[in-house]
């Protein structure tokens, strides 16, 4: 049985995964300026402070509504938020979908792999999930690479599964399950 609650702040000595707070608006603003992030998320494509605050409120509302756990990825030394990571509950008991983004200025520094490793380990451990899966656009090679780095297995391809950026797209399905521990 999975009970939704925020994990304690998780860190690996470089990044911290923690709940969003009011000081994180700059991160939402930076994400809104990326051409890709607003297409597949609720990050506003046109940032205003009001839209930014609404985004932060939506992240906390996901926990209370049971939709999932939505957290900021922050630099451990400054606590500056540089990305987002979530575990969204799927209809199947014990299954979560993982999603993530990193602001352009913080990319190519291993931030996403660190955060995914932290939240996956928590999700399949204390978080009580049996399976964490990711749905990835076949053209998104960076996302596929970070999942492989985090020990996710490619299971297959679902055809015409999602609408992304106004077009139908296939998705690649990756997963990590409790039996993978240590792999
Ligand atoms: C995908 C994303 C989260 C990656 O975050 P990141 O912290 O920059 O990840 P890094 O680049 O540090 O990731 C590590 C690996 O991906 C590789 N990588 C990064 N960009 C790549 C690209 N365009 N093509 C192939 N590999 C790429 C890196 O070389 C690195 O692999 P290595 O250690 O073997 O060299 C980030 O690019 C992003 O936010 N993209 C927009 C939102 C998005 O696509 N989210 C995922 C939706 S499923």
Residues 71/18, Cβ–Cβ less than 8 Å? yes
Q: Which residues contact 77 (CB under 8 A, 6 or more apart)?
A: none
Mean pLDDT of 83-90: 98
Percentage above 90 pLDDT, the chain: 93
| Predicted pLDDT of residue 3 | 63
Separation of alpha carbons 175 and 135, rounded Å: 9
According to DSSP H, which parts of the chain are helical? 25-32, 37-40, 49-65, 111-124, 141-149
Ligand 1 atom, smallest distance to 145 CA = 16
Q: Which residues contact 161 (CB under 8 A, 6 or more apart)?
A: 135, 169, 170, 171
The residue whose C-alpha atom lies closest to atom 32 belonging to ligand 1 is 145
Best of 145, 149, 174 to mutate for ligand 1, by most ligand atoms within 8 A of CB?
145
The residue whose C-alpha atom lies closest to atom 48 belonging to ligand 1 is 136
Q: Domain boundaries in the chain?
A: 10-180
Exposed/middle/buried for 3, CB within 10 Å: 0-12, 13-18, 19+? Answer: exposed
pLDDT band at 51 (very low <50, low <70, confident <90, very high): very high
| Predicted pLDDT of residue 164 | 84
pLDDT of 2 above 80? no
Separation of alpha carbons 134 and 74, rounded Å: 21
Best of 75, 136, 146, 158 to mutate for ligand 1, by most ligand atoms within 8 A of CB?
146
Å from CA of 131 to ligand 1 middle? 22
Kindly indicate whether the domain formed by 10-180 is annotated with CATH number 3.40.50.300: no
Mean pLDDT, the chain, integer: 96
pLDDT band at 1 (very low <50, low <70, confident <90, very high): very low
The residue whose C-alpha atom lies closest to atom 3 belonging to ligand 1 is 101
Q: Pull the structure tokens for residue 83.
A: 């990305």
The residue whose C-alpha atom lies closest to atom 43 belonging to ligand 1 is 101
Å from CA of 1 to ligand 1 middle? 33
Mean pLDDT of 38-52: 96
| Predicted pLDDT of residue 165 | 79
């Amino acid at each position: 049985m999975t009970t939704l609650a925020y994990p304690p702040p998780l860190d690996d000595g470089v990044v911290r995964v923690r709940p969003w707070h009011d000081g994180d608006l700059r991160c939402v603003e930076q994400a809104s300026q990326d051409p890709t992030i607003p297409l597949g998320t609720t990050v506003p494509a046109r940032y205003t402070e009001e839209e930014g605050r609404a985004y932060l409120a939506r992240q906390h509302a996901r926990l209370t509504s049971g939709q999932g756990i939505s957290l900021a990825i922050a630099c451990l030394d400054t606590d500056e938020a540089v990305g987002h990571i979530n575990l969204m509950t799927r209809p199947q008991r014990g299954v979560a979908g993982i999603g993530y983004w990193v602001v352009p200025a913080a990319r190519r520094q291993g931030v996403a792999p660190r955060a995914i490793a932290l939240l996956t380990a928590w999700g399949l451990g204390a978080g009580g999930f049996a399976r964490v899966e990711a749905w990835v656009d076949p053209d998104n090679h960076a996302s596929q690479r970070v999942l492989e780095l985090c020990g996710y297995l490619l299971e297959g391809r679902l055809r015409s599964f999602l609408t992304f950026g106004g077009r139908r797209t296939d998705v690649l399905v990756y997963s990590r399950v409790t039996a993978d521990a240590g792999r």
